[in-house]
Structure 1
């Protein structure tokens, strides 16, 4: 945005915790618990809030883009507005067809209802609503989507993606749906790793986030998943053959967090990799790891050799929480 200062953006942050944003050039739209309950609707579905507040913004603006906070910009945000025109809905990404989800509640509970009403069929494209861009004249799409959320929530228990599903239904055969994964990376998975990068940037620049040094550093907070190079992973794979088979993947993931990445914000992900290694191991074992069991894994002679000076840090970070379970 520094490259296009003549193009002003009204950046609004809707939040019930405004403090982290006070030093940023944004317009804070604070809401309280009662407002959240109202926006969540009759069933307390909190994802409903997104489309309700988007509808309110379109009462004030000719066009708007709602962006989830778990996102990275690949390019200038102004490019998003180039894709928003009357008769078009901008989403983060088109994901799959409706008939690819026949085992889900959204299909088993709703497919026949939607077909009978002429609202959807198996060829309907589904979308990710990490980005929602519309013009004011197409805001009624949001009204229809919210109405469907309220109607369908009781018969689709556990369907957390009902919000973006209803948006896809409301848009189907009504407007052209465009996507923007080339402009925005929506890290809805691996959130802990990307949040570690963001937190490292905040710790470094939070006191003066708009200083040129801080703005330059935002380019180093990338959408790249920090992992060792392929040749390093191959060495790790060979070295872990000395470890019992059920522990090898755990050790490899711990080693991901021990790599001396050139990017300081990638290095900030070390603890997350270690924690994910434990979590993934517990999923494979289908039971929690005890502190003595994890200590035994980490004290294996081959693991000690691979971790080297990081062995103490890894043990201290991972074992302490297990002792208090």
Structure 2
């Protein structure tokens, strides 16, 4: 039994999420300063995809995944069940969502997990703030009606990182009970799982991990593009150089420099206000600063998003042609039009 381990959950056979998991694991290995300071456990229904990887694989069967989803078919219940099972395997467990990149040594995070203290990704809002949100109203009203509403000061956390000492394993059993109790709210509140974990932790001390990790849940399309570029270039089979090579992928998707933004202003002035968000992405795509092997991947991701925005605004063919001439360098216009012609 290990003292400390990172825990991942991967299922469904989707290449995008497999590459998320692999890249996250590589970032953890890259940042690890002391060999053996922690191990990595992966619960997955595709163990063959991780042959040769330095992880402890726990195969998941269809039956286990069905059991974990529960009688009410809530997908994210599986995460709570994985943590509940994984926390028994080591003195300290840190569950990591696959869409997470480490930029500091994960060993420092284990120092924050104690018998009296939990670790979560980041603080989101207090219950006083949450209950005023439109997606929380029905949920809050039910808790009030049943006399189960928490104190307004209860803090709700994102559970992209969830660190628990084995001595506190019971907190996840409590969270699963709450998930099942709140079954009527799954459709409106997709984050019931992390709300349940925050409720189960109650007024215990919780510290955050977001100074060591980038949880890119709101920027998935761009990170998926970079992950694909990386694995297209270097392959998915593990070898000793792969963690170091992963450092060539930016932790955050590259943003244009201040100078580039200033230079873009004259072109944007000539663009209708409704189309400016798309125009910014069109310009940025042509100037994106990344390693050579990623440049085309990142450029195309920005351009595809720009095209989506133009479609949402019902831009005409003539309007798109005008924007292309203004925002895309002449040498790249044919590439942009190729993407444009691929749209559904």
TM-score interval, smaller chain: 0.7 to 0.9
When residues 20 and 226 of structure 1 are mapped into structure 2, their CA distance, relative to the original with a 3 A threshold, is: farther
> 2:94 aligned with 1:65, yes or no?
yes
Whole-angstrom distance in 2 between the partners of 1:277 and 1:233:
17
Instruction: Look up the match of 1:231.
Output: 259
Match of 1:261 among 265, 289, 310: 289
Whole-angstrom distance in 1 between the partners of 2:92 and 2:151:
29
Instruction: Give how far 1:8 is off.
Output: 4.2
> 2:176 aligned with 1:154, yes or no?
no
When residues 132 and 242 of structure 1 are mapped into structure 2, their CA distance, relative to the original with a 3 A threshold, is: same
> 2:63 aligned with 1:41, yes or no?
no
Whole-angstrom distance in 1 between the partners of 2:343 and 2:125:
40
Whole-angstrom distance in 1 between the partners of 2:269 and 2:302:
20
Aligned residues of 2:256 and 2:287 also touching (Cα < 8 A): yes
Give the TM-score, by structure 1 length: 0.87
Between stretches 201-210 and 58-67, larger displacement belongs to 201-210
Instruction: Look up the match of 2:158.
Output: 128
Secondary structure, aligned partner of 2:36: coil
Whole-angstrom distance in 1 between the partners of 2:311 and 2:324:
21
Whole-angstrom distance in 2 between the partners of 1:311 and 1:298:
12
Query: 1:182-201 alignment to 2 at 5 Å?
Result: 182-201=211-230
Secondary structure, aligned partner of 2:329: helix
Between stretches 182-191 and 55-64, larger displacement belongs to 55-64
Whole-angstrom distance in 2 between the partners of 1:63 and 1:115:
37
Aligned residues of 2:74 and 2:186 also touching (Cα < 8 A): no
Whole-angstrom distance in 1 between the partners of 2:226 and 2:293:
5
Whole-angstrom distance in 2 between the partners of 1:123 and 1:112:
18
Give the TM-score, by structure 2 length: 0.83
Aligned residues of 2:324 and 2:333 also touching (Cα < 8 A): no
Instruction: Give how far 1:266 is off.
Output: 5.4
Match of 1:309 among 306, 331, 334: 331
Whole-angstrom distance in 1 between the partners of 2:333 and 2:138:
50
When residues 275 and 123 of structure 1 are mapped into structure 2, their CA distance, relative to the original with a 3 A threshold, is: same
Instruction: Look up the match of 1:143.
Output: 173
Matched residues, number:
313
Alignment deviations for residues 130-183 of structure 1 (CA, whole Å, 9 cap, x no partner): 01110111111111111011011214532101100011111112x211111111
Instruction: Look up the match of 1:321.
Output: 343
When residues 113 and 244 of structure 1 are mapped into structure 2, their CA distance, relative to the original with a 3 A threshold, is: closer
When residues 109 and 143 of structure 1 are mapped into structure 2, their CA distance, relative to the original with a 3 A threshold, is: same
Whole-angstrom distance in 1 between the partners of 2:218 and 2:324:
32
Q: Structure 1 unaligned segments of length 5 or more: list them.
A: none
Question: CA-atom RMSD, angstroms?
Answer: 2.4
Q: Structure 2 unaligned segments of length 5 or more: list them.
A: 1-28
